[in-house]
Amino acid sequence: MKKWLTLSMAALFVIGCAPKATVETPTVPIAENTQPEKKMYLGEQPSNEFYLQQEHESYDLRPVQELSLRESIVQNALMYLGKRDGGDCSGFVSLINYKTGAPFYKEKELSQSFDNARKSRAMFNLMSQKGNAYETRLPHLGDLVFFENTEHKAAVKTKGKGKNKVAVKKPSVQVAENITHVGIVTKVESDGTVEFIHHSNGKNILDYMNFNYPMLTNKDGKVINTYMKRCPSKGGAAQPQCMNIAFFVAYGTF
pLDDT for residue 234: 83
> What's the whole-model pTM score?
0.68
In DSSP notation, 67-130 reads S-HHHHHHHHHHTTTTS-TTSSHHHHHHHHHHHTTSSS--HHHHHTT-SSS-HHHHHHHHHHHT
**Euclidean distance between CA atoms 225 and 129, whole angstroms:** 30
Q: What is the mean pLDDT of each run of 10 residues along the chain (254 residues)?
A: 43 37 37 38 33 36 70 98 98 98 97 96 97 94 97 48 43 63 97 97 98 96 96 88 97 97
**What are the sequence ranges of the domains in the chain?**
38-252
Side-chain half-sphere of 174: how many Cα atoms within 13 Å? 1
pLDDT tens for each residue of 34-44: 333 333 333 33
Instruction: Supply the pLDDT for residue 146.
Output: 98
Under 8 Å between Cβ of 242 and 227: yes
Residue type at 235 in one-letter notation: G
- Per-residue pLDDT at 38: 35
- What gap in Å lies between CA 124 and CA 121, rounded to an integer? 5
Q: What is the pLDDT of residue 65?
A: 56
